[in-house]
Chain A
Amino acid sequence: MNPYLAGTMLGMVLLLAMFLSGRGLGASGGIKYCVVSIVGAVDRPHAEGSIYYSKYFEEGKKPLKNWLTLEILGVIAGGFISGAISKRLKFKIEKSPKISKTRRLIFAFLGGVFFVYGAQLARGCTSGAALSGMAVLSVAGFVTMIAIFGSAYIFAWFFRKNWI
């Protein structure tokens, strides 16, 4: 699909989210809620004792029954529908032919660790902080956006062998 058209569609979804529930889009938050509920299920006393987890279990709250968790479930469903329509459903590891599969997977894992760690710190990822933040003109959105893309451009040089 034409990127400008796809961007318009994404913008409309964001606008709809703002209009319906007064909030932007987000992905990293949902990942966090998954972790919170896993930790809560495995080691409840630890979760309730920790200053970080405890706020998600106050008053009998269920971290899985949450706006952000449902949203990322929707993202997976929506991606699947789109992939089915455009006939892109296929199990594969996408990588540059110059690197091995293991190397790609190790870096994918590390990337996930770094990205979500940073997103927790900045209170949102590219969608939650940068995209939604820019759409409401928040300073946090612009600063986060510049920090993400700026640092990615700098690090791009170090990791260029992975991609080109």
Chain B
Amino acid sequence: MNTRGKFSAGLLCLGFILALLPLSANWSFTIKPQKLLPKVLDDKTYFTVDQVARFVVSEDTTVQIIDLRSPKEFRAVNIPGSINVPYDKLLNNALGSILSNGNIKNIFYSNSDFDSNYALVIAGGLNYKNIYVMKGGLNEWFNTVMNSSFSGERISARENALFETRTRARKMFTELNSLPDSLKLKFIETKHIASKKLDGGCE
């Protein structure tokens, strides 16, 4: 048998294996379940809304807040500085273009505690580091940051700091979300373009 024959036979065997693989999958979890479980049960993966409020107020550049709700919900209200990646888009493997930056803390949030925690497991399964959720979601944000008021007789220094953060976060949240839709939308789109576009090709 000549080289061509052998080579063709080898390629055909490999091609046959490939044809049988469920490759339409495109992507799957890359680490083993036993390795993932302790990662997703780590208490450090939670941020309280107050911690997130502090990030927002200080305009911390080492955090990236990711809103998993639909674009419509995002347009209605969103946390200042967050980017919108709807949960169903995230399943189409939008993660890579968002979470590539190793040292930045990525904080997921949704309205409640479901989508954000699914997303955390997915990101963990793909072996991304520095992933967190905002516990309680936007509902908890409203409950704590937007609607709480101080009731009591004396205020401690710590409580005072907490309330100041909340008040400032509330102000920023209200200012951003009171903007007309067109302006908010523009902000979202520029964010999106910056995070998309892969490098490559001959251009």
Using CB atoms and an 8 Å cutoff, list the residues of chain A in contact with chain B: 2, 4, 21-24, 26-29, 32, 67-68, 119, 123-125, 128-129, 132
Bound-complex Cα distance A128 to B7 (A): 25
Query: Hey, which chain B residues are within 8 Å of A67, CB to CB?
Result: 199
Q: Is the CB of A21 within 8 A of B199?
A: yes
B202 on the A face (CB < 8 A): yes
Within 8 A of A (CB), among B1-49: 3-4, 7
Does B198 lie at the interface of the complex (its beta carbon under 8 Å from any beta carbon of A)? yes
Are B201 and A22 in contact, CB atoms less than 8 angstroms apart? no
8 Å CB contact of B202 from A2, A21, A125: A125
> B203 on the interface (CB 8 Å rule)?
yes
List the A residue with the shortest CB-CB distance to B8.
A4
A28/B202 contact (C-beta < 8 A), A4-B3, A4-B4, A4-B7 known: yes
B7 neighbours in A (Cβ, 8 Å): 4
Known: A23-B198, A27-B202, A29-B202. 6 other contacts (CB 8 A): A21-B199, A24-B200, A67-B199, A123-B202, A124-B201, A132-B201
Contact A123 B200 (CB under 8 A): no
* Alpha-carbon distance A67/B199, docked complex (angstroms): 10
Are B202 and A68 in touch, CB under 8 angstroms? Answer: yes
25 A-B interface contacts by CB (under 8 A): A2-B3, A4-B3, A4-B4, A4-B7, A21-B199, A21-B200, A22-B198, A22-B199, A23-B201, A26-B201, A27-B202, A29-B202, A29-B203, A67-B199, A119-B202, A123-B201, A123-B202, A123-B203, A124-B201, A124-B202, A124-B203, A125-B202, A128-B201, A128-B202, A132-B201
User: Chain B 181-203, CB within 8 Å of chain A: the 1/0 string?
Assistant: 00000000000000000111111
Q: How large is the interface on B (under 10, 10 to 19, 20 to 34, 35 or more residues)?
A: under 10
Residues of A within 8 Å of B4, CB to CB, are 4
Nearest Cβ in chain A — how far from B35, in angstroms? 22
Shortest beta-carbon distance from B82 to chain A in Å: 26
Question: Which residue of chain B lies nearest to A24 when distances are taken between CB atoms in the complex?
Answer: B200
Q: How far is the CA of A146 from the CA of B4 in the complex (A)?
A: 23
Instruction: Determine the chain B residues whose CB is within 8 A of the CB of A32 once the complex forms.
Output: 202
Expressed in whole angstroms, the minimum distance between the Cβ of A66 and any Cβ of chain B is 11
Write out the residue numbers on chain B whose beta carbons fall within 8 Å of the beta carbon of A129: 202
Residues of chain A within 8 A (CB-CB) of B3 are 2, 4
Which residues on the A side are within 8 Å of B200 (C-beta)? Answer: 21-24
CA distance A81 to B4 in the complex (A): 28
Question: Contact at B201–A24, with CB atoms within 8 Å?
Answer: yes
- Pick the most buried of B3, B4, B7, B202: most chain A CB atoms within 10 A of its CB: B202
Q: How far is the CA of A114 from the CA of B2 in the complex (A)?
A: 39
With a cutoff of 8 Å between Cβ atoms, the chain A residues found around residue B199 in the complex are 21-23, 67
**Hey, which chain B residues are within 8 Å of A21, CB to CB?**
199-200
When distances are taken between beta carbons in the complex, the residues of chain B under 8 Å from A125 are: 202
Question: How far apart sit A124 and B200, CA to CA, in the bound complex (Å)?
Answer: 11
A4 CA to B3 CA in the complex, in Å?
A: 8
Which residue of chain A is the closest to B6 with respect to CB atoms? Answer: A4
Q: In whole Å, how far is B27's beta carbon from the nearest beta carbon of chain A?
A: 14
**Please, how many angstroms separate the alpha-carbon atoms of A129 and B201 in the complex?**
7
